[in-house]
Structures are given as C-alpha cells and as structure tokens.
Structure 1
Amino acid sequence: MKVAVFSCKPYDKRTLEAATKDATDLELVFFESRLSTETVSLVQGYDAVSCFVNDDLSREVLEQLSAKGIKAIALRCAGYNNVDLYCAKALSMPVFHVPDYSPTSVAEHAVALILTLNRKIHRAYHRVKEGNFALEGLMGFNLEGKTVGCIGTGRIGEAFCRIMMGFGCRVICYDLTQNQRLLELGAEYLDLESLYAQSDIISLHCPLNASTHHLINKSSLEKMKDGVMIINTSRGALVNAQEAIDGLYSGKIGFLGLDVYEQEGKFFFEDMSDHIIYDSVFQLLLTFPNVVVTGHQGYFTDIALRHIADTTLENLRQLQSPVGTFQRELTIKQ
C-alpha cells in the first residue's frame, strides 16, 4: 500500500520511519505541506492518505481524493472536525483516527498552563533573566480547595480530573455521559450553568461539533465567576476569541490558557518568526499578561508520537486484512 503522509514534520517522519523500519507492506511518502484543494493533485498514484488536525478534508477535497483512487484516510489525531464524514460515507471511503494516543500528555499540558498562569512562571522567567528578582505582581493562589470545572470527561478529561484531585481541588464535571470511574473518585456531575457558576477554573476537553462551537462566548462568560481561569487544549473553535478578549478587558476572565486557536490552521506548526501574522485577534491575545498561548503542543510527547505512529499504521494495515470492520473507523453519530 502506497500512502501519502501530509502535514508531516521532521518529528513525524522520524517516528513513522522508525515504526516502519522493517515493514514491506506499506510505502510511506512524506509531504510537509497540508492537504488542500491546492495540494490534492499530489495523491495521484497513492492508495491512501494520512492527515493531521489542520488538513482540509472537506467535500471538495474528498471527492477529488476519491476520483484519484484514494481508498481510505488515516488521521494521526483523535479529533475529526475537519472531515466531512457524510461525504466520506457516501464515497465509501473509510476514515480512521487515533482515539487514545496518550490522554495524560494533553491533560498534563492543561495543568502546565494552569500552573504557569497561576504562579506567573512566564513573567517570572523573563524577570530573572534580566536580573529582576522582585516579587511584586507575581502573587498566585493555592490550588487546594479550588473548584475545577471539567467539560468533557472522556480519556483526556478523566486524566485531567485525576491530576486536579491530586492537588486537593473539588472537581465538577459536565458531559452527556457520566464517567463512572470519576464518580467513584468523588467527582460531581452538574449541568453546564451550575458548572459555570461554581468553577474557579474551567478546562475544556470536549470535541468540536455544532453543539460545542463557541461554547465559551459572551453568554456563557456572563454566568461565570469574575476572574475565572479558562483553559482550552481541545479545539480552537470551542472559544470565541473576540468575546474572550472582551472578557479579559472586563475582568470576567482572569486567566486564559490556550493550546489551540480557531484560526490556527494559517500558522500553527510553522516557524512564523520572520513573518507578519495577519490575524489581529490573535496578535491582541498575545498582548495580555494573563494569557498564555502554546502552539498546539499538548499532545507532543515521545510516548504519544510513538503511539500515534503505531496506531496509524495498524489502521492502514487493517484495510488489507480480511477481518471485519476495525474499531477505530469513524462513523457518523446520529
């Protein structure tokens, strides 16, 4: 099977090559460019494609993939909001993902953002490098006893809740399905409005879909405590960035930690240090001292990369297997 691997950075290539070192059944060809209407012509002669979070898998692209003989899509991520699953189903093109690569990697990054914002590590780091050891303006708060709201309690959300319980926090959750393991550990499930009203910290660990798009907006912010900390390591469009900025100006948001951004596809995963970033909302976010932004690196650990590579290759090999439908194939949820 010949596979075109898009959005492939050097670290992806190293990990995938290591995983296929002795393989004779898969031929991987690496493209650093993203899959889009402009690059879809590159797939001619391939059997499948492997894509990442910001590749374009809209109807237009899927139809072109099908016309060029692509039989399947293997995502190297858990999320699939960039895929038109209805179109893929109509084209009989299976789509696979990596539902469980390392939940703790993203959960730990969310906690890192909390600690950085709370104890102002980002500001203290620069002060000390300049010989400034003054503590004024660096006061944080104890996490013990704080109420942490977790929206989405799947694998990553569960890992996050377990860590926060270790800090002595009260953990309250919202999800359409309650996680029995978290209930046994002492977590509470509330409706969204109650979670908004009671949380000192809110961390998002839910997928992006029609019901969660801009979950954090003017209306939901009005229901939260003044000075609330909001953390997003899931998908950028869960947060309405402009309305979050308004919340920062008013003091409703006291701390904002983002590992994802709604328009990140234009520049995340790239070195933009010599370029102007033409996004005034993003540039404005970076001016706030109580905002920390990282470039979608929550998943980025050695264990996670190895697991992503192994699972992606398993998914591709399943297409050549006579065994039935593979458990990681995505289906349309009604």
Structure 2
Amino acid sequence: MKILFYDTKKYDKDSFDRVLPKYKDVEIEYVESDISVKTARYAEGFDGICGFVSSDLSRPVLERLHKYKIKLILLRCAGFNNIDLDAAKEFGMTVMRVPGYSPEAVAEHAMALALASNRHIHKAYIKVRENNFSLVGLTGVNFHGKVAGIVGTGKIGAAMCRICNGFGMKVIAYDVYQNPDLDFVEYVDLDTLLKESDLISLHCPLTNDTYHLINSGTIDKMKDGVVLVNTSRGALIDTEDLIKGIRKHKFHSIGLDVYEEETHNVFENREDDILQSSITSRLLSFPNVIVTSHQAFLTDEALEAISIITMENAKSYMAGEPIEQNTLSK
C-alpha cells in the first residue's frame, strides 16, 4: 500500500521512518506541501493519503482525491473538524484518526502555559537577556489553594485535573459525561465553573455546541484576575470578545496554543511576512498573553505514539478490519 503524507515536517519524517520497518507492506512518500485542491493531484497513483490537524479535507479536495481513486484518509491527529465526513462517506472513503496518543503531553503544555503566563516567564526571559533585572511587572499568583476549572474531562482533561490536583488546587469540572476515575473532581454546571475558577483550562472538542464557548457573556461571568488556557481548538474562544476582556483587565493572564486565525500560521515560518489580519498581532501585543504554535502534542513520546497508531490504522484497513474506535467513516 502506498500512502502520501502531506504537510510533512522533519519531526514527522524522523518519527515515521523509525517505525516504518515494522510495516513491510506499507510504502510512504512525504511532501512538505499541505493538501489543497491544487496539491491533491500529488496523490495520483497512491492508495491513501495522510493529513494533519490543519489539512484542508473539504468536499472540493475530497472530490479531487476521489478522482484519483483514493480510498483511505489517515489523520495523524485526534481532531477531525477539518474534514467533510459526509463527503468522505459519499465517496466511499475510510477515514481514520489517532484519538489518543499522549494526553499527558497536551496537559503538561497546558499547565506550562498557565504557569509561564501567570509568572510572566516570557517577559522575565526577555528582560534578563537585556540585562534588566527589575521585578516590576512580574508579579504572579499562587496556584496552590486556588480553584482549577477544567472544561472537558476526556483523557487530556483528566490528565490536567490530576496535574492541578497535584499542585494543591481544588478541581472542579464541566462535562456532559462525568469521568468516574476522577473521584477528587467536583462536577458543576458551566456557570458555576466560570464564577468559581481561578484557572480555567479548555479541553473539549469543537462542535456546534462549543463554538465560541468563551464569549463576552461567559467572560463576564468569570472572576476578575482569572487565568485562561486553551490547548484544544481556537474557535472555542471568540477572539474579538477575548481581546475586549483583556482590555477590560478581566484576565490575570492567558495562555493559547490554539487560536482562531492559526490555519495559515501553524507550523510555518512567517517571520518575513506581513500578517494580513490584525487579530493575531493584537493577541501577541498584550503583555499578559502567551501564544505558542499548536505545539502541545510535540513530545518524543507523543510523536512515537502517533506514528505507531497511524501505521496500525493503515495495517488494519489493509486487513479489511479497520480499528473501530479510530474510524470516523467507512
């Protein structure tokens, strides 16, 4: 089976090349370009393609892939809001993802953002490099004894709950489904979580119900001086409303690994470009905001798990028995 990997970075190639010898019946080719209507033609002659979290797998792209007789679409990520599943089903394509690889990797990055933004590590690092050892503007707050509000308690959210519990925080959570393994967590409604939490961390999928979950209305319900972290999906937060909240001094600090405008920025070097929208630039201008480039997943352990699960997905498809829990469409 021949699979074309789109949007390939060095760490992707290194990781997959390490596990590939175990899968003798699979041949991989890598391209740096991400998939689009234009680049879909690269898939001609292949049996399947592999995309990532920002890959465009809309109906027009899937139509092109169908033209080239692509039957398998692998996603080397958990999220799948970037693919038109109805179109994939219509074209008889099997879509498989990596629903869980290293929840601790993402949760640890979420806490890293919370800590770094809270204690202004980004500002302190820059100041000291310029021989400025003043402590002005670097005051943080203790997390110990405070309330952590976790929105979404799947594998990643559960890992974040455990980290916060280890910091000596009271952990409350909001989720449609309660996780029975989190006996130290108090489940509350969303309004209660917003009102009581000193730290709010988002770990829920992006759906019609969660789109712009954080908006002017929900921000107004939060405590003044709250720390907000998002490592899930950018569109969980209405960025314009977030900026208004920042300007009203609602937040002590904010840590974002994802944001609404990230599609054309994520994983790319754009240091010589002039950004066409001011939203991202405005976020980066605030001294109490840290933005990273969708890197929460990026650990050796997570990359290895993603590679193995993706290859196992391909193997199971070849055997005619796609792994059920990893399959979105068939």
CA shift for structure 1 position 326: 3.4
Alignment of 1:91 onto 2:91:
yes
The offset of 1:87, in angstroms, is 1.6
SS of equivalent to 2:181 = helix
Query: How many residues align structurally?
Result: 330
C-alpha displacement at 1:92, in angstroms? 2.1
Mapped to 2, the partners of 1:324 and 1:102 lie a distance apart of 21
Q: Residue 15 of structure 2 corresponds to which residue in structure 1?
A: 15
Is residue 165 of structure 2 the alignment partner of residue 165 of structure 1? Answer: yes
Is 2:301 the partner of 1:303? Answer: yes
Q: What is the rounded CA distance, in whole Å, between the counterparts of 1:127 and 1:49 in structure 2?
A: 46
State how far apart, in whole Å, the 1-side matches of 2:312 and 2:14 are. Answer: 17
2:30 maps to: 30
Task: Give runs of aligned pairs for residues 203-282 of structure 1, distance below 5 A.
Answer: 203-282=201-280
Where does residue 107 of structure 1 map in the other structure?
107
- 1:133 is matched with which residue? 133
TM, length-normalised to structure 1: 0.96
State the secondary structure of the residue aligned to 2:171.
strand
Query: Which residue of structure 1 lines up, in the alignment, with residue 148 of structure 2?
Result: 148
Normalised by the length of structure 2, the TM-score is 0.97
Residue among 183, 198, 208 paired with 1:200: 198
Gaps of 5+ in 2: none
C-alpha separation in 1, matches of 2:185 and 2:303: 30
Find runs of 4+ consecutive structure 1 residues off by over 2 angstroms: 21-24, 322-327
Shift of 1:279: 2.0
In structure 2, what residue type is equivalent to 1:223?
K
What's the Cα RMSD here?
1.3
Task: For residue 320 of structure 1, report the CA deviation from its aligned partner.
Answer: 1.1
- In structure 1, list runs of 5 or more residues that go unmatched: none
Q: What letter is aligned with 1:99?
A: P
* Greater displacement, 128-137 / 276-285: 128-137
Q: In structure 1, what residue type is equivalent to 2:47?
A: D
Instruction: Name the amino acid aligned to 1:37.
Output: V
Pairwise CA distance, 1:268? 1.3
Instruction: Give per-residue Cα distances to partners, 1:195-248, cap 9 Å, x unaligned.
Output: 111111110001111111111111111111112211000011111111100000
Tell me the SS of whatever aligns to 1:327: helix
CA contact (8 A) 1:97 1:329 kept: yes
CA–CA separation in structure 2 for the residues paired with 1:259 and 1:139:
23
Residues 143 and 167 in structure 1, CA contact (< 8 A), matched pair in contact too: yes
Equivalents in 1 of 2:12, 2:323: separation in Å?
27
Q: Report the AA paired with residue 267 of structure 1.
A: N
